[in-house]
Amino acid sequence: MKEKIFIEGRKKLSGAIPISGAKNSCLTLMPASLLSESALTLNNVPNLTDVETMNTLLRSLGCVVHYQKADKTLNLKTSDECLFLADYDIVKKMRASILVLGPLLARHGQAMVALPGGCAIGARPINLHLMALEALGARFSIENGYVKGKVGSRLKGCKIEFPFQSVGATANTIMAAVLAKGTTELLNVAREPEIIDLCKCLKAMGCKIEGEGKSRIIIQGVDNLKTTRHSVVMDRIELGTFIIAGAITNSDIKLTGGNTALLENFISKVSEVGIEIHQTKDYLQVKRENSSSIKCTNILTEPFPGFPTDLQAQMMALLSIADGVSKIEEQIFENRFMHVPELIRMGANIEISGREAIISGVDRLKGAPVKATDLRASVSLVLAGLVAEGQTEIDKVHHIDRGYEDIIGKLTSCGAVIRRY
C-alpha cells in the first residue's frame, strides 16, 4: 500500500466531484444483516477499507458477502448457523465493529466481541452500549479483552434513557430492540442522519419504529424480518470536506449528489466565513463571495444537528488562512487536535488550551513534510496542501482510505496536482 501523498499547492480547481455513500451509515447498516436470514442488499456503498473491514468481520461471523464494485452494491445474507466470535485481529482496526454486539444478542442470545479499536481520537468507551443492552436483558462480562454477552431467553423491551447522545450506542440498541419482546422506549438518542438511515432500512425489513430523527424513539419488537434493498444516504462529511476544498483553493466547483439539508449548521458557518453555496437540482456549486478572503468565526462541535466533529479538522485548515482570529471548541472527543502540530509545520498559527484551539489566520501556508494521525486529520492536511505554497508530502495516509473513496482521482479530475506513491 502506498503510504504517502504528494501535493503541489495553489492550483485552482474546476469541474464536478461526485459525493459517495456515507461510510458511517454503511458501517451501521451492514451489521443489521445479522438480524435475519433474509438477504439485505445495500446500494450506493463506497469502496473503502472500513467497509471491507466490516465485510471481513461479517464473513467471520458466517455472513455471505458479495460486493459489486462497479455498481456499488453490497449483498449480505446470514444463515441461522451464525458464529458469535468477533475476533480481535479484525475488531482492532475499526471501532464500528462493536455494532455486531446488539444484533448477535438479539438473534442468537450470545456474543463474544473484542473491545474495539479505530482512530486514536479519544477513549470512547462502550459503557453506554452495555448499559442499554443490559436493560434489555443481556448480561456481560469482560475477559481477556473481550466482551462476553448472553441472553437468558429473549431480550425484553423496556424504557432506556441515555445520559448523553451516542450514535454507536443508539444504533446498537435499536438493532437489538427490533427483535426484543414488547415495546422499547429510547430517550435522549442520537439524531444523526445515519441513525435515520438505519431506521429507514430496518422499517423496510419489517421493523416497527417511530421517532427517528427526534430525541425519543419507540420500537415495537417483531419476530421476523424480510428481504430488503436499501440505498445508503450520501456522505455528509465527504460533502463538507469537498465544500472546504473549493473554498480553501478559491475555486468554483460543482458537487453532484450532495444535500445541504444534512449539514445545516456547517453550511451556516461556511456561509458566515464568506463561502457561497448554490443548490440546484443536479449539483451544489461552491465558490467564495466575490473571490474575497476567508472571514474568521467561532465553532463549537456538537451532536447533530450541531457542527460535526468529523468536519472540525477540515474547518481548521480553512480558518488557518482566514482574516482575524477564530476559535474552535471540541466537545465530542478529548484528543481530536492531533492535526494541529502538522498544520503548524505548514505555517499555521494555532494555540491549544484544553479543548479549545485559537487560530490566528496567516497570509499563506507553506508546503512541508507532515504526518497523518487519523482519518479526518489526514484529509485536513490534504486541504492545507492544496492551498499551500510549494510542495506538501503527507505520510501515513492509509487513514484516508478508511473514509474517502478515490479522493486522489476526484481532486485530480478537477485540476489538483496530487498523487500517491
Find, among 236, 150, 148, 253, the residue nearest to 197 by Cα. 236
Local structure of residue 306 (DSSP, 8 states):
S
Give the CA radius of gyration of the chain: 22
Cα separation of 49 and 51, whole Å?
Answer: 5
Cα separation of 96 and 93, whole Å?
Answer: 9
Pick the catalytic residue: 26, 63, 119, 201?
A: 119
Q: DSSP for 267-293, please give it.
A: HHHHHHTTEEEEE-SSEEEEEEGGGPP
Local structure of residue 156 (DSSP, 8 states):
B
Among this protein's residues, is 63 annotated catalytic? no
Local structure of residue 195 (DSSP, 8 states):
H
Find, among 413, 396, 402, 212, the residue nearest to 310 by Cα. 402
Question: Is residue 80 classed as helix, strand or coil in its secondary structure?
Answer: coil
258: left (phi over 0), alpha (psi -120 to 50) or beta: beta
Question: Is residue 101 classed as helix, strand or coil in its secondary structure?
Answer: helix
CB 322 within 8 A of CB 365: no
The dihedrals phi and psi of 333, each to the nearest 5 degrees, come to -120, 140
Instruction: Name the burial class of residue 108, with classes exposed (0-12), middle (13-18) and buried (19+) by CB atoms within 10 angstroms of its CB.
Output: middle
Cα separation of 266 and 253, whole Å?
Answer: 18
CA distances from 209 to 152, 200, 307 (A): 25, 9, 27
Which residues are known to be catalytic? 119
